[in-house]
């Protein structure tokens, strides 16, 4: 069930008359990680909504103190949660998602629920075959123990340094670790790991829907968690869609590109694509 905060954001978006942008976070982050992006997009004339995943706590401190609140969330359940939020909006949103949020962004776009979408370093869905060693290493904290499928996993600083903040200086990396990461459900990583062996995988994306809307993939050049090979494969799978499909690699950037000190050029690139392609999204 949507939270009071989320319903409040929907109400504000509906009464504003502005075009709407929805932001979707990935594993180990919370909705609050988008705050600077929200400020920028709202200054540019958009209403923004940042739902969490089901049962997400509102603060990093609360999340770290209650890791069990993250356990057991599947890609399918999270996608349905965001689809429900969208159903409450009077205008279809542009959707921006990072990591597993980027995979969910593609799923929602494939359901015809986005006017335009920007998956940023998106996790792989079914049919994406490349599996670089760096991606395996980044996922290993969860995948190393089958019991983690039903649990939540917190990254150590060393694991976070490799998976998220390898492309920033040490002092910034430690500051980001103190500020952002929370435990994450292991289940989505297991779902992605076996997706190509499961024809009913919840990571499946409808890439053929002609109502998908324009889509632009953003890839961090130095991303260990979702390297170029994975993102480029996702992009190529989407090329058969009749809508515009683009990809751009951002030099020197790692998986933390949406939260680190270099976030603003990433947001500018995202905003420019949305401004170019976002329609009114009016429903009904």
pLDDT on residue 9? 98
Report residues of the chain scoring pLDDT below 50. 282-284
Alpha carbon distances (Å) from 258 to 23, 121, 180, 182, 269: 11, 10, 11, 16, 12
Cβ 261 vs Cβ 134: under 8 Å: no
Condensed to tens digits (0 to 9), the pLDDT of residues 164-205 reads: 999 999 999 999 999 999 999 999 999 999 999 999 999 999
Domains of the chain: 4-275 (3.40.50.1820)
Collapsing DSSP to helix, strand or coil, 47 comes out as: strand
Could you tell me the pTM of the whole model? Answer: 0.96
Chain-centroid distance of CA 69 in Å reads 19
Question: CA 96 to CA 135: how far, in whole Å?
Answer: 22
Collapsing DSSP to helix, strand or coil, 218 comes out as: strand
Question: CA 270 to CA 46: how far, in whole Å?
Answer: 13
pLDDT on residue 280? 54
């Amino acid at each position: 069930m949507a939270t009071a905060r989320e319903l409040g954001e929907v109400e504000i978006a509906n009464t504003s008359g502005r075009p709407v942008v929805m932001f979707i976070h990935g594993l180990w982050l919370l909705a609050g990680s988008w705050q600077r992006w929200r400020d920028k997009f709202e200054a540019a004339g958009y209403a923004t909504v940042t739902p969490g995943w089901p049962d997400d706590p509102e603060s990093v401190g609360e999340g770290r103190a209650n890791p069990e609140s993250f356990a057991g969330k599947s890609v399918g359940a999270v996608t349905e949660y965001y689809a429900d939020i969208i159903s409450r909006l009077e205008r279809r949103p542009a959707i921006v998602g990072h990591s597993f949020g980027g995979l969910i962004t593609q799923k929602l776009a494939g359901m015809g629920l986005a006017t335009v979408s920007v998956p940023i370093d998106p996790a792989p869905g079914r049919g994406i075959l490349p599996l670089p060693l760096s991606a395996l290493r980044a996922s290993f904290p969860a995948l190393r123990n089958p019991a983690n499928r039903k649990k939540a996993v917190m990254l150590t600083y060393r694991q976070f340094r490799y998976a998220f903040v390898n492309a920033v200086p040490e002092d910034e990396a430690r500051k980001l670790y103190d500020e952002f990461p929370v435990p994450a459900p292991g289940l989505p990583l297991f779902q992605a790991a076996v997706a190509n062996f499961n024809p009913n995988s919840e990571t499946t994306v409808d890439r053929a829907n002609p109502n998908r809307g324009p889509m632009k993939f953003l890839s961090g050049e130095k991303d260990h968690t979702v390297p170029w090979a994975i993102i480029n494969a996702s992009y190529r799978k989407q090329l058969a869609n009749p809508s515009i499909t683009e990809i751009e690699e951002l030099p020197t950037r790692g998986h933390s590109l949406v939260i680190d000190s270099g976030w603003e050029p990433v947001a500018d690139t995202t905003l420019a694509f949305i401004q170019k392609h976002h329609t009114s999204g009016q429903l009904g």
